Amino acid sequence: MLTINEPLEDVRMKVSRLQTSIEQHPYFHGVPSIQRRKEKNGYYLHANDDLPEIRWMAYELISTINCRFEAIVARKIYGIFERKHNRNEAEFYADMLSHLLKNKLNKYDRLILNIASRSNCTTHSNLKRGLEKSIKRSILRNPGQANDCEVFFNVQEPTLEPILNIADYFCWAIQRIFEKGETRFYDFVSNKVSQVIDIYDFENFRKPNGNSGAHYGKRRKLTSENLIK
């Protein structure tokens, strides 16, 4: 979840300008990953497919933006996916969404969430399912507090909402740590990553002192030791 703490339109313009400059720059002409996106719906930043040079440009831009990022990391554990989510990607998505929202419903009066379109995962009914689960979780955590926050979902395509592409770059940086043990992308923007929860790290989730070993943030950062082997 990405929170922008400066005028949104200014950030959109920054990202759009970078995307346009990449699309038009002769150095990148003929690059297959760029060409495919240009021919389909127009070029947009996408960390997994972008060239190293473009990633550097994107992270340089992100470093100038006043923002913070939170993530829920869910390991690929088939038994949980089968038992808890009925082998259904939409149910899994709704469950993870509920964890992202559960500690915000009694903090804000209104939340407007721009969400990247993802097939059945981002239908109105599935987003509603995730919100309902988050309300239940919030009540369990704080039974005496109200959960009357108005939540609005705007499902967007990355070609139409440039800010989504910043979130994609944060997600990719965190994913590289857990899958590759590579920290340099995360390290470069880690001062903007306020929270990462490794939700299925059962070995470390609850320490004897009551603290969680699966929560990370600005004080306790992710390292190459978070590589899932």
Side-chain half-sphere exposure of 101, counting CA atoms within 13 A: 30
Which pLDDT score, from 0 to 100, does residue 120 have?
95
Could you tell me the residue ranges of all domains in the chain?
2-67+182-226, 77-156
Q: What is the pLDDT of residues 32-82, one digit of tens each?
A: 999 999 998 899 999 999 999 999 999 999 999 999 999 999 998 999 999
pLDDT digits (tens, 9 = 90+) for 144-185: 777 788 999 999 999 999 999 999 999 999 999 999 999 999
Q: How far apart are CA 106 and CA 93, in angstroms?
A: 22
Q: What is the pLDDT of residues 80-117, one digit of tens each?
A: 999 999 999 999 999 999 999 999 998 889 999 999 99
Give residue 155's pLDDT: 97
Give Cα separations from 32 to 35, 43, 48, 103, 151 (angstroms): 5, 11, 13, 42, 39
Give me the amino acid identity at 152. Answer: F
Question: In sequence order, what are the residues at sequence separation of 6 or more whose Cβ sits closer than 8 angstroms to the Cβ of residue 123?
Answer: 90
Question: Measured between alpha carbons, how far is residue 178 from residues 28, 41, 196 in Å?
Answer: 30, 31, 12
Confidence of residue 204 (pLDDT cuts 50, 70, 90): confident
CB 4 within 8 A of CB 65: yes
pLDDT of residue 210: 55
User: Alpha helices of 110-206 — where are they, by DSSP H?
Assistant: 124-141, 163-180, 184-189
Using the predicted structure, report yes or no on whether residue 206 has a pLDDT greater than 90. no
Name 81's Cβ contacts closer than 8 Å, sequence gap at least 6.
87, 92
